[in-house]
Amino acid sequence: MIIQSRVKIYAKIILPIALFLVVLALFVLAVSEIAGKSENEGMQLTAESIRRAAVQCYALEGVYPADFEYLKEHYAVQPDESKYIIYYTYTASNLMPVIDVLSANAETIPDPTDDPAEAESDSASAEFPE
């Protein structure tokens, strides 16, 4: 009889609390997933708007802009620089600049002077000495 009353107490108190905690955990996971997707989409849209402005500059002026400040001044590019870190790497007036947009909350920020192609050639020469 005592065991049955304890089971009823557990069923009335602990089971709803456990169920609530499971539902709460699922809700928190869903919200964090949506926030992550939203941030990635924002970075992609920001990078795309900068690329469009650079292409528009090339179409109108015949050269790609040498720096990102020129795009902000003349082509009304207004990214939220408190949320994003923008790397604008100019190579030549007739080559599309490399545009990278990262979250300002990123744990690791790449060195803009690192060139992936250069790293590959270094590793290739290390593997096959001449």
Spatial contact of 99 and 88, defined as CB atoms under 8 Å apart: yes
Spatial contact of 129 and 122, defined as CB atoms under 8 Å apart: no
Q: How far is CA 95 from CA 55, 92, 109, 123, in A?
A: 10, 5, 25, 27
> Residue ranges per domain, the chain?
2-116
Per-residue pLDDT of the chain (130 residues; tens, 9 = 90+): 556 677 777 777 888 888 899 999 999 999 988 888 888 898 999 999 999 999 999 999 999 999 999 999 999 899 988 899 999 999 998 999 999 999 888 655 555 555 554 544 444 444 444 4
Note if the pTM is more than 0.85. Answer: no
